[in-house]
């Protein structure tokens, strides 16, 4: 019987992933093992999973525990979605950098917030991997937790168990591009690769026609440009559309957030680049997600059995049924993108079948795009090294290389900011020496 463990089951993604898996034809029985250290959110996850199973009529069962060692043994797939002390630290990780002029929008993958999320999250992830090696070594690890590149890099450095990092950026952005261009999604063709949240659509065609000139003409309209302001502006100068939202992407490069006049000119509301968006909205979004589950369980809101664009179920179906599928996954490079670091993590097309995850060779990115990727990959490399070697120096050097932080602050200011953040977050992160 198929067994799928979901660690961090209180995440909003659980409902989508469960629904997607239960929509797989001829996969009529199995076991979901749900894990979360928050017993209240775990109970909500268990109840909504049971309800979705009931609505599908399939012969799946559910077990749940706050102790993963009690339930993950023998898992065929382990899905990781953990969030470590996010509600306790999000305010510090936004407000302390703000004192130094670093104005983050999201701050959970790059920037000071991203660094300290790595210092919080990767140690817990490495402990999970140890338990997986002991209890279900023949599994496939699917990671959804951010910072995606760092989490995947830490995994491939620490275990031989197959692991892939999964996001929804490329599939989501490709749909956005079809909408922006007014063409049917199934007719849009593209070639895309890079790193998570910073993959590049280096080719974009419709019925053999290059669609970038069309898009560049459209963004001459200020109202159209405002739909995705940072990404459209970057397209004008970089020549390729990037895979993540304007808000996220604005933190991956040094151009858009280093002065308030640039933020005012290029950044919009919410995910389009608002300063402090994540810090101000995350607690409320968490609350609303839990409230939504409660309403669905009570019947106040309908439970819709609509599939999502997440890749977990695509992988599970492809592996279990040995059906060829294609996803975009975060994997160890090993020459897949020739002008990015060999031992880094990249995001490329991957073929899925009974042999698991089979990453596809991409070749070379345009050098200016690869250079932007490399700057972020160095940040992730040093941050993961900081965790694995408990190195304060490596962590500080990571922050010094962060594109946004370096665009705003001097080395001495970065050092002072790091010290303040370390003191504020010290009960939630590993000790650095």
As annotated, the active-site residues are 168
DSSP 8-state symbol, 271: G
**β-strand pairing of 198-206 with 2-7:** unpaired
Q: Which residues, other chains included, contact 190 with Cβ-Cβ below 8 Å and sequence gap of 6+?
A: 174, 177, 201, 203, 204, 205
Instruction: Scan for tokens 């019987």, then name that residue.
Output: 1
What's the rounded Cα separation, in Å, for the pair 28 and 47? 19
Q: How far is CA 421 from the centre of its chain?
A: 23
Classify the C-alpha dihedral 319-322-327-333 as positive or negative: positive
Per the CB < 8 A criterion, the answer to whether 87 and 283 are in contact is yes
**Cα angle: 28, vertex 14, 280; to 5 degrees:** 170
Kindly state the tokens that stand for 304: 């819709």
What's the rounded Cα separation, in Å, for the pair 24 and 272? 34
Which DSSP helix (H) or strand (E) runs through 143?
strand 140-143
Please name which of 181, 180, 116 lies closest in space to residue 150, comparing C-alpha atoms: 116
Other Cβ atoms within 10 Å of 339 Cβ, number: 14
């Amino acid at each position: 019987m198929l067994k799928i463990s979901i660690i961090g089951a209180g995440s909003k993604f659980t409902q989508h992933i469960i629904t997607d898996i239960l929509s797989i034809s001829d996969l009529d029985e199995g076991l979901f093992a749900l894990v979360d250290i928050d017993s209240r959110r775990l109970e909500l996850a268990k109840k909504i999973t049971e309800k979705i199973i009931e609505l599908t009529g399939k012969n799946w069962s559910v077990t749940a525990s706050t102790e993963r060692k009690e339930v993950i043994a023998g898992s065929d797939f382990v899905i990781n979605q953990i969030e470590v002390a996010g509600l306790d630290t999000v305010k510090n990780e936004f407000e302390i950098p703000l004192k130094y002029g670093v104005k983050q929008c999201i701050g959970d993958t790059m920037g000071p917030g991203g660094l300290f999320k790595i210092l919080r999250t990767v140690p817990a992830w490495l402990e999970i991997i140890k338990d997986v090696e002991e209890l279900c070594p023949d599994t496939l690890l699917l990671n959804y937790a951010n910072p995606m590149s760092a989490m995947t890099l830490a995994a491939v450095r620490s275990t031989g168990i197959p692991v892939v990092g999964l996001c929804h950026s490329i599939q989501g952005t490709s749909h956005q591009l079809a909408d922006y261009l007014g063409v049917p999604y199934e007719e849009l063709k593209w070639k895309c690769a890079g790193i998570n949240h910073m993959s590049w659509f280096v080719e974009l065609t419709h019925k053999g026609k290059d669609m970038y000139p069309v898009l560049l003409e459209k963004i001459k309209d200020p109202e159209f440009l405002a739909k995705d302001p940072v990404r459209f502006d970057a397209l004008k100068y970089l020549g390729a559309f990037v895979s993540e939202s304007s808000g996220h992407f604005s933190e991956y490069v040094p151009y858009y957030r280093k002065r308030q006049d640039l933020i005012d000119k290029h950044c919009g509301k919410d995910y389009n680049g608002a300063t402090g968006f994540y810090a101000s909205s995350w607690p409320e979004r968490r609350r609303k997600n839990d409230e939504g589950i409660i309403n669905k369980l009570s019947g106040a809101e309908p439970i819709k059995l609509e599939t999502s664009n997440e890749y977990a179920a695509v992988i599970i179906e492809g592996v279990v049924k040995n059906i060829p599928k294609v996803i975009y996954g975060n994997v160890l490079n090993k020459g897949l993108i020739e002008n990015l670091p060999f031992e880094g993590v990249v995001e490329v097309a991957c073929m899925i079948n009974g042999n698991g995850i089979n990453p596809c060779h991409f070749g070379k990115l345009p050098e200016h795009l690869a250079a932007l990727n490399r700057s972020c990959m160095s940040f992730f490399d040093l941050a993961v090294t900081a965790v694995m070697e408990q190195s304060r120096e490596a962590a500080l050097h990571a922050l010094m290389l962060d594109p946004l932080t370096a665009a705003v602050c001097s080395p001495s200011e970065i050092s002072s900011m790091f010290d303040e953040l370390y003191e504020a977050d010290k009960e939630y992160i590993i000790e650095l020496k």
